[in-house]
Structure 1
């Protein structure tokens, strides 16, 4: 079960996290939480996938709901994170912290050159943590956008800003960096996560 202690609200987005067993269908775990947040029976939660595999949330049955509801979730290791937003497009990523010996090779191949260069200047242990934080930020934005990683990790660029990454440039299809809000946090020991959202464009 998702508990009140394992939840937060930031801006127009609510999220919660819980233990996850590999092989479980995330939808069966997410649906009751969404129903509780929206005060409807679980059967009223209509979850479908679009052509890119992104979840689409609607309320089934009569009754007018919010103009736009959006949900997104992510699982890694033994953790599951789900987010719900109203009148925004929301994306979320959770990552289990584990050794990533190929992190720098992945950064050089898939990240913006400025990001890869910055990571390369860090000590190995610090660089791996920074890599995960950057990956979380990128994936959360791309999931909110709707195309996911297939859109291209290099098509949005972040710069370090203290302990977090700040979006500084992006492909016009993503809007402008100022459109986006990001919240990075530690949902549970050994995990990093990021929420990303922007106003829904209709």
Structure 2
């Protein structure tokens, strides 16, 4: 199926961006998009939730996995076959407490890396790191409650690379991450890995 406006193919993951009114439920919009992608009416989609709220498509959807995230006035959705995915979207806005949050919730090496950056670069680096962490944790299924410090990233050019993680997440090499801008003033990261055995 060709890509529609607002869609992007990132490795095995198809992503779609659309405007979103903050406070409205996102799932009906996601259902409509997923139905088009999977070739059926929205009512035919069977979406359940894992214990910590991660969405799962029913078994009759052929091994597809989905994730979505909203921030500001945007919604980002993802769909892929035969991999487990997580996606995070962040609206770029001032984050004057970025270093305080990093010191409290990130690994010590990440907080130190951020602290060493010039002020004008620190907030953007913090958002990129936050997106990367949250995308992996959404794919894992437990989300932020798993602990942001339990996966460690190191700078790699203008981005971050996963270098260490809790064994519950697998090995760092199991994961592929891709950061991108789905719209002006928004940053996103999609993460994927093979399904757990």
**How many Å separate the matches in 2 of 1:78 and 1:165?**
26
Residue in 2 that maps onto 1:185: 180
* Correspondence for 1:153 among 123, 143, 148: 148
Residue in 1 that maps onto 2:48: 48
* 1:65 Cα deviation from its structure 2 partner: 4.1
* 1:116 Cα deviation from its structure 2 partner: 0.3
Residue in 2 that maps onto 1:20: 20
Q: Does 1:94 align with 2:82?
A: no
* Correspondence for 1:74 among 65, 69, 73: 69
Residue in 2 that maps onto 1:32: 32
Q: Where do residues 119-134 of structure 1 align in structure 2 (5 Å cutoff)?
A: 119-134=114-129
Residue in 1 that maps onto 2:57: 57
Instruction: Give the root-mean-square deviation of aligned CA atoms.
Output: 1.2
* 1:5 Cα deviation from its structure 2 partner: 2.1
**How many Å separate the matches in 2 of 1:201 and 1:167?**
18
SS at match of 2:5: helix
Unaligned 5+ segments in structure 2 are none
**How many Å separate the matches in 2 of 1:177 and 1:153?**
15
SS at match of 1:36: helix
Residue in 2 that maps onto 1:135: 130
**How many Å separate the matches in 1 of 2:173 and 2:52?**
25
Moved over 2 A (4+): none
**How many Å separate the matches in 2 of 1:201 and 1:169?**
18
Residues 62-116 of structure 1: CA distance to partner in whole angstroms, max 9, x if unpaired?
A: xx542x2211100000010000111111000000000001100000000011100
Unaligned 5+ segments in structure 1 are none
* 1:182 Cα deviation from its structure 2 partner: 0.4
TM-score, length-scaled by structure 1: 0.93
* Correspondence for 1:107 among 102, 106, 114: 102
**How many Å separate the matches in 2 of 1:186 and 1:169?**
25
TM-score, length-scaled by structure 2: 0.96
**How many Å separate the matches in 2 of 1:156 and 1:171?**
6
